[in-house]
Amino acid sequence: MTPTLRSLQTIVPDTQLVQEQVRDVFAAQPDLNRLGQRIVGTSFDVSGIATRYTVIDELQLEARPENPRFFDGEQNLLLSPGTKTRNELYIEAAGPLFVEAARRAIDGAEGITAADITHVVTVSCTGFFAPGPDFLIARELQLRPGVQRYHLGFMGCYAAMPALRAAAQFCDADPEAVVLVVSVELCTLHLRTSNNPDTIVASSLFGDGAASGIVTNRPLAAGERGLRLDRFETVITPLGESDMAWTIGDEGFEMVLSTYVPQIIEQHVVDALRPLLADHEPLAAALEADTMSGAVEHWAIHPGGRSILDRVQHRLELTEEQLEPARGVLHDVGNMSSATVMFVMQRILHGQSAAGERVIAMAFGPGLTVESALLEVAEG
């Protein structure tokens, strides 16, 4: 029996960031030189993003907190809080998001209750605390005392994929398993002003969000839709280790996201798909013949940035319609690290997809690592 991802849920915080307004704030910072100002303008304008969301309420232009930590609205000044301050807000904001996303996934899965959950897998790379989010979910939702808990931390943008793979493996090992997967990323906690092009690009892309779902062998209820998790693969490209990285600094976590990343992904995306499709002869043949657009109906590509989507689309000869879910997520909410690919999956599942149609999901992260999955739309 093939494990199925069901009850896909997504959440964004209440505070909306309008891309043009954020661009103007970053461009007006006093420590930015002329080249930095030009890079800010270009990066924000070509990002393909209209809005993002943040847990930092004081980033609202009209907000005037008495003791601002991240943004002084009266002076239009981005502040530089230390890593401790940033992580304290992560603890305060991420915990409730983990719990609410988990609650929605359980409530949205017909015939499944909190008492049925056998495993919890949580994912995040934008903060730390212990006991962690897996513990909070188990306590707040009153899961069974023996629920197995796992946390995938600091892996980066691809981490939801190994979380779903682990959930599927739990279900393969135990046909009665019901696995709750929750990803929460608060990327805006680590945005900063800088003349460094990598930092500017990261500041133009990342937002906050949460995604969750249930993985189980249990049959779907009548009319319920899900994604069968057929196969997963991991590939590390032969170059790119220094082009995408995530480290901890004194003023937050520091992202390295070089302008070469889209080119590296374009060069190696076919090689990354070969092991995923090796046991599926028709799809493997379509990959070599550059006819993947017709062989696989839907593509849940992690929208790491507009250039990444452009390069993947060009190399695999995908249609605009096939890229619309990824581009739509990027436009509406930006790049939310590991949670983002689940947002794209949700759009495909509840969009113009039909039972039996195939989905290839791909996410990219430090290494440079490419995680991929072969999925199938299912309906009860």
Q: List Cβ<8 Å contacts ≥24 apart for 265-270.
A: 265/237, 265/308, 265/311, 265/312, 265/364, 265/368, 265/370, 266/311, 266/312, 266/314, 266/315, 267/237, 268/235, 268/237, 268/238, 268/370, 269/311, 269/312, 269/315, 269/316, 269/362, 269/370, 270/315, 270/316
Rounded distance between C-alpha atoms, residue 374 and residue 339, angstroms: 18
Give one DSSP letter per residue of 168-182, joined into a string: HHHHHH-TT-EEEEE
171 is catalytic: no
Amino acid at 114: A
CB neighbourhood size of 215 (10 A): 28
Choosing from 125, 157, 171, 187, the catalytic residue is: 157
Q: Which residues contact 172 (CB under 8 A, 6 or more apart)?
A: 3
Classified as helix, coil or strand, 337 is helix
Is residue 6 within a helix (H) or strand (E), and if so which, with residue range?
strand 4-11
Rounded distance between C-alpha atoms, residue 343 and residue 340, angstroms: 5
Amino acid at 317: E
Rounded distance between C-alpha atoms, residue 116 and residue 2, angstroms: 19
Rounded distance between C-alpha atoms, residue 139 and residue 223, angstroms: 32
Q: Which residue has the tokens 């590390």?
A: 236
Contact present, 267 and 304 (Cβ < 8 Å): no
CB neighbourhood size of 57 (10 A): 15
| Active site (catalytic) residues | 157
